[in-house]
Every structure is written in structure tokens, then in C-alpha cells.
Structure 1
């Protein structure tokens, strides 16, 4: 660990799993880092769909879903921690007259880069009425690293990092997000593969 200089801060970055990362939760994953500090890191995997979609999720929490545009959108596996809890990554929504940086939802983390991550049910209630954030991604569970843990995984070349691109999160089909995130670095997955060139 470097004892001087600024600590690494990868908030609002993607972690892109290298081929050697075989962990079931993270193999070929793209993780959006919501928070990274000397105490650790918290992120959401954005490219691992579950077998339930938003319509199913809203039925489970007894809310109607007033938006057909997102009803078939899969809920994602955000990571191996608290897999029974929902996490909503969405564009920042501010109440009129609210202070800058103050979310309209009860339990929200504001992320530099124009996003928020909300865990309170009020965001789902807003979406159910057709209001709420237009661009969103819902995960069950999240990914977490303790103090120094992510830095050591980066040192072991488990991950590539790149500034997050919101179009990868919200506008790219789930199955294309890994390649799209790699393309931000000018890479394709075959370039990373230990067995490149072999069928």
C-alpha cells in the first residue's frame, strides 16, 4: 500500500473481470462502483440477469407497475451480499426546492457522475405510478470489498478499470455490456483470453 499520495478512488468506474477471475459471482462481470474509499468499496454487477423481471418484482412487493417500457427488464444479480434486498441504480432525481445533492428518496447514496443508488421502497412506489427516475437498473444484492481488498485484487490483475459510461448501464443490452465496457478501453474479450486464437 502506498503510504503517501492520494488514495485510489474508483467511484463511478467500471470494474471489468479479467478471464482468470473464475468466482461464480464475478466471472465475466462488469461492476459499477457506487463508492470507493480507504474503508473499502461497494458496487453493483450490471450484466448478470436473474430469472425475474421488474413486473415479477413489483408483484412480489405488492405494487402495480405503471410502466410497460420496463416491465420485461430483468432484475440483476448485483453481487453476493444481501441478495434478498433490492438496490435501484438510477439517474439523480431531485425534488423542486431541494438542496443540490439531496435526493427525494429516503435511503439514497448520491454518486458523483449523476447517479444515485436507492434502497428504500419509496423509489419503487414512485416508479409504480409511472413517476420516478426514467433510467434505472434494479439488482438483488450488491458487491463489497473491505479495506484494501479491492486494491489487492487490482494488483493481482483480477480486474480492469475504466471510467463508467452511463450508456453501458442504461442503453446497452445486458448480454453486450461486458464487451461494451471492454471497448471503452479499446479492448475485446478475445484479446484477454489466455487461449486466444484457439476455438
Structure 2
């Protein structure tokens, strides 16, 4: 595709009235984006009743007590049982970690789960997400053209903090948009 520009490492911020309840007020980190596909993780929606400790216990991985309050996020509606660890790139696994942008990687192995709980060897910041959002050939570009999403720069605090209720408004504020002034009407000029 001529002039294709990857959005990997950028945020997709849902416009009001997106028309899909799974993505209302969503903030999604684009992890991979090519001319024929895109994959992202929603960073603002904790999984109800699921903690890092409960997931680790289910997988027979040592779960320190402090992980009982660590939220697990719903990364998206596709493959909801599949886990992804989004983390700083100060910890990676050769041949398993995928760099997203400088400073940020994605790993989907049991080793990453163990590393999340070890402050001495693990990544400085990390979060476990279940599922992902995916787009087929041209689908994301069409949604962007239809003003379904705004794009924004990602910052580490927004990606990893646990103030989930305000992430959408903060992502919008980061691009100069006041969430209170957005209309749920969309269209093209």
C-alpha cells in the first residue's frame, strides 16, 4: 500500500456513539499494524472479579499475596482466554517478546507471568490482558476514515496506571479534546 503508515505504539480513542458496546469509551494500544491487519489491546477495562493472583493460581504459577489486588484487563473481544503481558522493554524473552515501540514490548508466555511478580528480574511496569482487538484488511483504516477512532500518542503512565475510569478522558485531553464537548454524532464533512 503506497503511503501506508503504521499506528503501532499509538492509541485509538473511541468516539462517542461508536455503535459497538464492547468499545464504548475504549482506549486501545495498537500493538501491530500492517497493510492487511491490525492488533491492539484495550488498556482501560479491568476484567470483573479477575486478579493477577487468581490467574496465576489457575495456572499453578507462584502468586505473591500482593498480586491479589493487581487487576487483569480485558484486552479485547477476540480469544478472551489468551493472555498477553504488556511491559516495559527492560525485560524481554528472546524469540518470544515482540517490541511495539522503543520502551514497550508484548510477551505471551508463562515466563512473562512469573516475571511480572518478581521485582528483581521482571519488567519495571507490566499488565496482564486477556483477549485482544483485531482488524482485517483495511478495516481499521475504514473505521478511522469514518471517524470512529481518534489517534493519540501513548505514554507510560496512561498505559500502566490503574485509574481506569479516567483513561478515556485523559487520552482525549492529551490531544486537546474535551470529552464533555464531544457529540455522539459522527460523519464526514
> Please, what TM-score do these two structures have when normalized by structure 1?
0.85
Answering whether residue 135 of structure 2 is matched by residue 118 of structure 1, we say no
> Please, what TM-score do these two structures have when normalized by structure 2?
0.89
Q: CA deviation at 1:172?
A: 5.2
Question: Cα RMSD over matched residues?
Answer: 1.8
Q: CA deviation at 1:37?
A: 1.2
Aligned residues between the structures: 183
Aligned to 1:179: 169
Task: Give the match's secondary structure for 2:76.
Answer: coil
Task: Give the match's secondary structure for 1:75.
Answer: strand
Aligned to 1:62: 60
Cα distance in 2 for residues equivalent to 1:194 and 1:73: 33
Structure 2: unaligned runs, 5 residues or longer: none
Normalized per residue, the structure richer in helix is 2
Q: CA deviation at 1:171?
A: 2.9
Contact 1:65 1:129 in 2 (8 A): no
Greater Cα shift, 154-163 or 18-27 = 18-27
Cα distance in 1 for residues equivalent to 2:54 and 2:138: 38
Structure 1: unaligned runs, 5 residues or longer: 95-102
Taking the TM superposition and a 5 Å limit, the aligned residue runs for 1:162-173 are: 162-171=152-161, 173=163
Of residues 27, 49, 58 in structure 1, which corresponds to 2:24? 27
Contact 1:127 1:133 in 2 (8 A): yes
Runs of 4 or more off by more than 4 Å in structure 1? none
Taking the TM superposition and a 5 Å limit, the aligned residue runs for 1:36-47 are: 36-47=33-44
